Amino acid sequence: MNKLTIGMFGFGCVGQGLYHTLLYSTGFTTHIKKIVVKTHGKKREAPVDLFSFNKEDILNDDSINVVVELIDDAAEAFEIVKSALQRGKHVITANKKMVALHLTELLQLQEANDVSLLYEGAVCGSIPIIRTLEEYFDNEPLHKVSGIFNGTTNYILTKTLHEGMNYAEALSQAQEKGFAETDPTSDVEGYDVMYKTIIVALQSFGVLLDSTQLVRTGITNIKAKDVAFAATQHKVIKLLANVVKQSDGGVAAYILPALVANNHSLANVHNEFNGVVVEGEFSGTQFFMGRGAGSYPTGAAVLSDVSALSYGYRYAFKKHAQKIHYGFTNNVVLPIFISSTVQEDIDSVSLVEEKILPVTENYFSKTGHINLNMLKQQLIQTPRLFVATL
Ligand SMILES: NC(=O)c1ccc[n+]([C@@H]2O[C@H](COP(=O)([O-])OP(=O)(O)OC[C@H]3O[C@@H](n4cnc5c(N)ncnc54)[C@H](OP(=O)(O)O)[C@@H]3O)[C@@H](O)[C@H]2O)c1
């Protein structure tokens, strides 16, 4: 078992969660030698001599063999992680944006420097989905991985749709509870889910996706009448990540609200909980659920990475290494529901097998089928549109 001497960046929601969970972990030998933070004069619930404001206190210390990166600035996080890997330190991070936007370079860095980079805490909080895909499903061909990957939006949807709370109040509660990203746009516009989708696509299908390829929209355009329409169909609205293998071997990935049947497992994932559905060739459908955000749940995922490092664990990126490499495709037709408060928005979108729904005051909607390439263009041209898969 390896002795781990940790240098930690960040002592916010997740950093403190990890700090406290480590105090209760007796199964391996670790020692946090230094914690680098940003703001001077903040009261911290840890001994004052642990803290520093100079990143070189960790990066230049040869006795520190593990960097745990838990800051809320993806650009700076990449600089820290790159430098740590180049200096032969193992890295654990929960920063999905940083990982997703630099996956190719990070894979090369860990390979070239013969070190480990782990990021279980970056995807779906406490659900051990990365290691499950990486280890358990390493050889089984998968058809689809989908689910609720963002605790903040699921919290807002639960509170507004089921408990009558207004949007601003629900968002502010999610922020107070430490679920929301520093900039909530990343959560509510679906960027956070997109980063996680990119990571999941690598671990489940071996593909390296470019964020500009993906169709993505969030929950900001949902209206009460959309919820009412969903209810008439015995469905609820959820923001879903989807990575789906197509019959021609390509992989489609998209982040869209969906009308989910009331009796589906994902319809019953509430508040900050996340849910992941893995559909395998031989195992069939599996459903995972757990807390998708928050100090201790995410801290626990990071703790599990620390524990894994203590026995020398490293991702092998087996699906990627198998060179199955299904190409990315947006050439997929989906059944969808669209709505807007403006008729021209609806008229401007042509759907196959289109069905216009009854018009009510300032509310226009229809259902039909659309190709993802066309939908991608449409979302740019029609920013007020609410779109959900059926
Ligand atoms: N919150 C969640 O539930 C959750 C879940 C999964 C993943 N994550 C990810 O975990 C990471 C941390 O999130 P969080 O919620 O813990 O953020 P947070 O509560 O806002 O804390 C951020 C921490 O980063 C420190 N920091 C910011 N810039 C820094 C810099 N340049 N150098 C050193 N320290 C710096 C801050 O220092 P000061 O204390 O001095 O301000 C603070 O301690 C993010 O990548 C986030 O996406 C969060």
Element (H, E) at 286: strand 284-291
Q: What is the pLDDT of residue 177?
A: 85
For the cut 80, the answer to whether the pLDDT of residue 325 exceeds it is no
Q: What is the pLDDT of residue 106?
A: 97
Q: What is the pLDDT of residue 176?
A: 87
Cα of 9 from ligand 1 centre, angstroms: 8
Catalytic residues, by residue number, are: 196
Mean pLDDT, residues 109-118 taken together: 97
The pLDDT mean for the chain works out to 94
pLDDT confidence of 25, banded at 50, 70, 90? confident
Decide: 12 in ligand 1 pocket, CB within 6 A: yes
For the cut 80, the answer to whether the pLDDT of residue 181 exceeds it is no
What pTM did the predictor assign?
0.96
For the cut 70, the answer to whether the pLDDT of residue 289 exceeds it is yes
Q: What is the pLDDT of residue 1?
A: 60
Index of the ligand 1 atom closest to the CA of residue 44:
39
Decide: 13 in ligand 1 pocket, CB within 6 A: yes
Per-residue tokens: 251? 């992989």
Mean pLDDT, residues 295-309 taken together: 96
For the cut 90, the answer to whether the pLDDT of residue 261 exceeds it is yes
Question: DSSP of 220-269, one letter per residue?
Answer: TT--HHHHHHHHHTTEEEEEEEEEEE-TTS-EEEEEEEEEEETTSGGGG-
CA angle 344, 347, 349 (to 5 degrees): 115
CA distance linking residue 138 with residue 122, whole number of Å = 20
In degrees rounded to 5, what are phi and psi of residue 142? -105, 150
Q: What is the pLDDT of residue 249?
A: 85
Go through the chain and tell me how many residues it has: 390
